[in-house]
A and B are shown apart, each in its own frame.
Chain A
Amino acid sequence: MCLAIPGKIESVTGDDPLSRMGKINFGGILKEACLAYVPEAKVGDYVIVHVGFALSRVDEDEAQKVFEYLKQIEELGELEEAGP
């Protein structure tokens, strides 16, 4: 039930912070979600959506870190294989 999926905000409607809604694109499928809890999110941002509510804005820099880490350990491994 805690399933939540990242999607891209395509458009935003409503000015009232508590009823701000957005059209969210999940890999081509558009669905409405409530944006009341992500006041900082804007069109083009990715948000994590659960039962029709955006709960968090995806931090794109943080999202890259695991790939940078993997690259680092790969390079370390190559160095070790090369030996002293």
Chain B
Amino acid sequence: MKFLDEYRDAGLAEQLARELHRVTTRPWKIMEVCGGQTHAIVKYGIDELLPKEITLIHGPGCPVCVTPLEMIDKALEIAARPNVIFTSFGDMLRVPGSTTDLLSVKAKGGDVRIVYSPLDAVKLAEQNPAKEIVFFGVGFETTTPATAMAIYQAALKKVGNFSMLISHVLVPPAIEALMSSPNCRVQGFLAAGHVCTVMGFEEYFLLVKKYRVPIVVTGFEPLDILQGVLMTVQQLESGRAEVENQYARAVRREGNQPAQELIKKIFKVVPRKWRGIGEIPQSGLGLNDEYAAFDAEKKFGVAESHVEESSECLSGLVLQGQIKPHECPAFGVKCTPERPLGAPMVSGEGACAAYYRYRRQPDAVAAK
């Protein structure tokens, strides 16, 4: 496919890797924020092409992974109700709540359906006026234009039996939380390209100034990631800290203005708890008061619960880049995609799932 295949050329990837070897003189720790990039790195073995001085630290950019346990429990409670059709992106279905998951609710007779787009859920609501259709609105800034449009159209068409359980999260506050942590080892960031197609990269100039770290907006194919790392290392080696855009074929500095306008109309910035990390101020989106009728939490009056994470799951440390997935004692033993202890083992963007799928060393697992 055009704009994909040519960015996966092995010969050109090696050429970029050679250039990286040439310019790297010291150890550098660089975080790729987005879980989609983590998967590409592990799948294509990009980390193995890098000079040994460069360590890639996997970041918290997996919306499925950071959706708080309390929110998963709310989804499970709503999905089990008799008159509800609960709709979601596929990768939420196997995320463990405190006692069960959506797939098990479905197996017990709950009407849980996977949709491709939030607009499909609105359509379902129009086709089933006697049912309550709920969409699980999870995701970073990349996904908010889609959920904002679903709410906007539902309001416009007065689709009263549609609502959304919202757990949207924002990238820049998460970078800020990581950088201000005393344990932070990150010296440069690859910013998530698709988040920036929507939001642009204006927000990063402040972060670069405040923390003196290079931030390079980066795409998702092997050549993109290698070039993003190269641009970051060139900055680090020459003592610069700037915002640069590797993914200029898709990202403009100002982002997507019509999308930002609709997001602002539908949502407001709220504090949000991140699973495994804790509450980050001003790091999430909730519905503006004008659209409160579409808030599933209010509509179904689900109670706030206080639940404890399994102490065996170290996903919080994985999500903050403090350990690699295979360094968790439960990895591949007590925690597998079939029996996950935490969300990063089942999400398509979870670091644990990436390592399990592409990097499992049977001997290491057997030795545990």
A residues neighboring B (CB under 8 Å): 1-6, 8, 18-19, 26-27, 34, 36-39, 46, 48, 50-53, 55-56, 58-60, 62-63, 65-67, 69-70, 73-74
Contacts and interface: CB of A to CB of B under 8 A. Distances in A.
A79 B313 CA distance: 54
Nearest to A25: B1
Given A36-B149, A39-B258, A50-B194, A2 B15 contact: no
B34 interface: yes
The 7 lowest CB-CB distance pairs between A and B, nearest first, are A52-B117, A27-B1, A63-B249, A6-B3, A56-B197, A62-B248, A62-B249
A50 B197 CA distance: 11
A interface, by DSSP: helix, strand, loop or mixed?
Answer: mixed
Contact of B89 (A51, A69, A74): A51
Identify the interface centre among A3, A46, A62, A73: most chain B CB within 10 Å of its CB: A3
19 contacts: A1-B63, A2-B139, A2-B142, A3-B194, A26-B1, A37-B258, A39-B258, A48-B194, A48-B197, A50-B143, A50-B146, A52-B117, A52-B119, A55-B142, A55-B194, A58-B249, A65-B248, A66-B7, A66-B224
Given A1-B348, A39-B258, A56 B119 contact: no
A39 to B, nearest CB: 7
B89 A1 contact: yes
Nearest to B142: A2
B349 A51 contact: no
Contact of B15 (A52, A55, A73): A73
Given A1-B348, A6-B3, A59 B117 contact: no
Contacts of A70: 12, 15-16
B354 to A, nearest CB: 13
Contacts of A4: 142, 194, 197
Contact of A53 (B146, B223, B249): B146
Interface string B137-154: 011101101100100110
A51 B4 contact: no
B15 A74 contact: yes
Interface in B22-42: 34-36
B85 interface: no
A73 to B, nearest CB: 6
A27 B1 CA distance: 5
B117 A51 contact: yes
Contacts of B116: 51-52
Contacts of B143: 1-2, 50-51
Interface in B72-122: 89, 91, 116-120
A73 B194 CA distance: 28
B263 to A, nearest CB: 10
B321 interface: no
Nearest to A65: B248
A6 B197 CA distance: 12
A52 B4 contact: no
A7 B252 CA distance: 18
A75 to B, nearest CB: 12
B71 interface: no
Nearest to B226: A66
A46 B227 contact: no
A58 B221 CA distance: 15
B91 A2 contact: no
Given A46-B3, A67-B6, A36 B258 contact: yes
A24 to B, nearest CB: 12
Nearest to B138: A1
Given A1-B139, A37-B145, A70-B16, A55 B249 contact: no
B139 A34 contact: no
A6 B15 contact: no
Given A2-B142, A6-B4, A48-B197, A59 B149 contact: no
Contact of A50 (B61, B119, B142): B142
A56 B91 contact: no
